[in-house]
Structure 1
Amino acid sequence: MAAESSEPKSRARQYLEVVTGPLEDKKRWRQYKARIKALPENYRVAVEAMERYLMHFGPGDGADAASMFEDLADLFERGAADGTPIREIFGEDPVEFVEAFIQSYSRGSYIRRERDRLTSAVERAAGEDTTRDRRV
């Protein structure tokens, strides 16, 4: 996606973005939804199911989420263009596929952060070394 303009934002836009989040993320979301709408029905149904799952367990912040959904659209657009069957994209276990997909975008995931916090707290309580690198 194109980078945001280097031009300073107006005061009104700054206030608006405090309330609604970055407008660029919203634009990216609308573009993603338009791409998904253009897919053949069976691919669209599969993407929308995955999208629902990702809304709960995917990255929480706008930029990571926008990138993830754009990559999801790329994946299914390529699959549709190549005629790849849905089951071939997902494999035998759709949840396993989605969880593997999420791992590339887990930096913003509140679930990942909370898992890491829990692990770290237990390690500290047990007197163990907590200096290992964590993706938070």
Structure 2
Amino acid sequence: MSIQDIIEGKKQWRAHVARVRALPPDYQIVYKEMQKYLFKVGPISLPDGPLLPGIVDFFEEGVAADKGVLELIGTDVAAFCDGLVKDSPTYADAYQESISGEPGAAAK
């Protein structure tokens, strides 16, 4: 990864954060909780993937339609997040695979 890639990544992240800050307060709170949850249990591709920007797109559409955030996702934020990542390999899956193998399999 070059310096230019790092700089571009930071620019993209700052633009993403600016979009989140433009959302109404209730959407921001739910987004931050979703982000926290997804960084804990989410897919391996989360930092570079389209999931977080897709959530912001979804929330912006909800704001434009004048809907409350809980109308969009329901009251169980974790269940909504689990539905988003159900088919994606997670860090927990990778860890489980690493410990379920034969003893010494990691050394091969």
Structure 1-normalised TM-score? 0.61
From 59, 66, 69, the counterpart of 1:86: 69
CA–CA distance in structure 1, aligned partners of residues 59 and 91 of structure 2: 26
Aligned twin of 1:71: 54
Q: Give the greater-gyration-radius structure (CA).
A: 1
Q: Structure 2 unaligned segments of length 5 or more: list them.
A: 104-108
1:96 aligns with 2:96: no
Structure 2-normalised TM-score? 0.74
Q: Structure 1 unaligned segments of length 5 or more: list them.
A: 1-12, 126-136
Over 3 Å counting, the alpha-carbon distance change for 1:68 and 1:24 in structure 2 is: farther
CA–CA distance in structure 1, aligned partners of residues 95 and 62 of structure 2: 34
Moved over 6 A (4+): none
Does the residue aligned with 1:63 lie in a helix, a strand or coil? coil
Relative CO higher for 1 or 2, CA cutoff 8 Å, sep ≥ 6?
Answer: 2
1:50 aligns with 2:31: no
Over 3 Å counting, the alpha-carbon distance change for 1:33 and 1:102 in structure 2 is: same
Letter in 2 for 1:110: Y
Between Structure 1 and Structure 2, how many residues are aligned?
A: 102
**What per-residue deviation string (whole Å, max 9, x for no partner) do you get for residues 61-105 of structure 1?**
5322xx21111110111111112222222224221111111236x
Letter in 1 for 2:32: E
- Taking every aligned residue pair, what percent have the same amino acid on both sides? 26
